Amino acid sequence: MTEYDVIIVGAGPGGSVAAKVAAEAGLKTVFFERGRKPGEKNASGCGLGPRMWRTFPEMMKELTPENVPSMRMAGCVMNHYLDKDLKERAIEMYYPTDSVTYEPAKQFITMNVYRSEFDPWLAKFATDAGAELRASVLIKNLVKNDAGKVIGVQTEKGEKILGKIIIGADGVLSVVSKMSGLNPRWLPNQVTIVPQYDFSADRDKIDKIYGPDGVLADAADACWWGVNFPSAYQVIFGDGFHIGLGSWLGQWTKNPISHINKLVSSKPFQRMMKAIDAKPREVHSHLLPWAAEPIKTYTDNVLLIGDAGGFPCPLEAEGVFPAMETGKLAAETAIKTIADGDTSKQALKLYEDKWKKSSVGVEFEAGESLQTLWRNLFFSTQAEKNNMEWFIPAYIELRGGHYDWSEPHIVRFRQIFKKLRSYSQDVIPFLQKYVLPVMADVMEEDMATLPFLTQMMENLKPKKKK
């Protein structure tokens, strides 16, 4: 039987980075992929955030349209707001704002790439570092010793491969997490189902509208917010785009496909499709862990990274960077514990300590409150109360109500305030119940500014009675 220092199951972003880091340190490393090549099975997760460039600068500087042709920069995010009749009520675009401190992130929100190109590109760094990639191999089980501790993996064909440390990088339906007992199954509030359509589109037309010098100047990520469908994301690539929407398994009240179809058949969406000559190309449906916190990620000789550990961020389910970051931390843990000759769960707790302190761990400090807010706002079409019913008209009133010249402006302002006050019975309990807990989790100082706010409100007395 072959024996390795590190066995990694999965050659997605997490597995490839773990394999690269372990192999570079001289560990005998193998990573397994059930697809014929990395990325063959991965159709999702394609908007890459700036933290990837910050943490992995050497690799990421080589991500160029020459070697990843589907790449397109998303310089800003475009928000579309649709009312209950699917009529577009507002569009807005957001570029990186002044509070952004990481210099490169001032230029873009995400870089968008197809995973079928990105994953093989990333895996090559691992094989170049000396890791052995075994593609077209499905890992079906774990090998355990008499004491019940994991000591290797078993392929679909029955081959057994032994290793000192097994890293589960095998995504949401992880065999490693299940068979090691770390996560027998996801709870319905920890995992989402995401139907997604892929459209081809005319590259020149996309450029003219969304390209660097296009009409919308770099709007290459979009969010579609609706009253009667859960919020949807659109990621635009070199020659096409994805549109998808998701919600937690425990929250769907209708077939998810019916929601995405509703959006795609809406007039504003059809208009956008026509403008870039979009044609349906593929239909996908994926599970994605989206939890308030990761699951337990280590036991004797086993570590879980990326989706297998429940690492997508609790705000927007960004999962590629967390997979790469936890892959790196798991490999570093393997290097140290193998050198020390102790890969017990006590020694591997080091991994948890590392990720909790990392940029990925910090995300989960507000995990619970953020997810509760999300469930009760942008996904509230399936919740007890659909808060999007008041949120969209109230938000639009606030942001755009003054664009109306039918009355003297001061009269318009009074009309707007009156309308906004009519939402207060919804807005105030909502702020108290869902928004303040997020603020309390996020804020670094206490509410020392509140007396100042109270003072301000006291000065807010009408000058003239109407």
Ligand X SMILES: Cc1cc2nc3c(=O)[nH]c(=O)nc-3n(C[C@H](O)[C@H](O)[C@H](O)COP(=O)(O)OP(=O)(O)OC[C@H]3O[C@@H](n4cnc5c(N)ncnc54)[C@H](O)[C@@H]3O)c2cc1C
- Positions in the binding site for ligand X (CB under 6 A): 9-15, 32-35, 38, 41-42, 44-47, 138-139, 169-171, 175, 194, 196, 235, 244, 286, 288, 306-308, 312, 317-321, 323
In angstroms, give the least distance from the CB of 265 to ligand X: 20
Name the region of 323 (left: φ>0; alpha: ψ -120 to 50; beta: rest).
alpha
Closest by CA to 371, choosing from 229, 245, 191, 233, is 191
Q: Which is nearer to ligand X, 184 or 462 (CB)?
A: 184
> How far apart are CB 139 and ligand X at their closest, in Å?
4
Which of residues 176 and 377 has its CB atom nearest to ligand X in the complex? 176
HEC string of 254-280? CCHHHHHHHHHCCHHHHHHHHHCCCEE
For the chain, what's the residue count? 466
Q: Which CB, 23 or 288, lies closer to ligand X?
A: 288
Of 327, 293, 311, nearest to 360 by C-alpha is: 311
With respect to ligand X, which residue has the nearer C-beta, 10 or 226?
10
Q: Which is nearer to ligand X, 118 or 395 (CB)?
A: 118
For ligand X, the closer CB: 10 or 393: 10
Distance in Å, CB of 289 to ligand X, minimum: 8
Compute the least distance from the CB of residue 440 to ligand X, in Å. Answer: 27
List phi, psi (to 5°) of 74. -100, 100
> Residue 148: left (phi > 0), alpha (psi -120 to 50), or beta?
left
Q: Per the structure block, which two tokens stand in for 180?
A: 């090691």
Cβ-based nearer residue to ligand X, 225 or 430: 225
- What letter would DSSP give residue 163? E
What is the signed CA dihedral for 199, 200, 204, 210, rounded to 10 degrees? 20
CA separation for the pair 232, 248 (Å, rounded): 14
Contact 321, 51 (CB under 8 A): yes
Rounded to a whole number of angstroms, the minimum distance from the CB of residue 147 to ligand X is: 24
Task: State the residue number with the nearest CB to ligand X.
Answer: 319
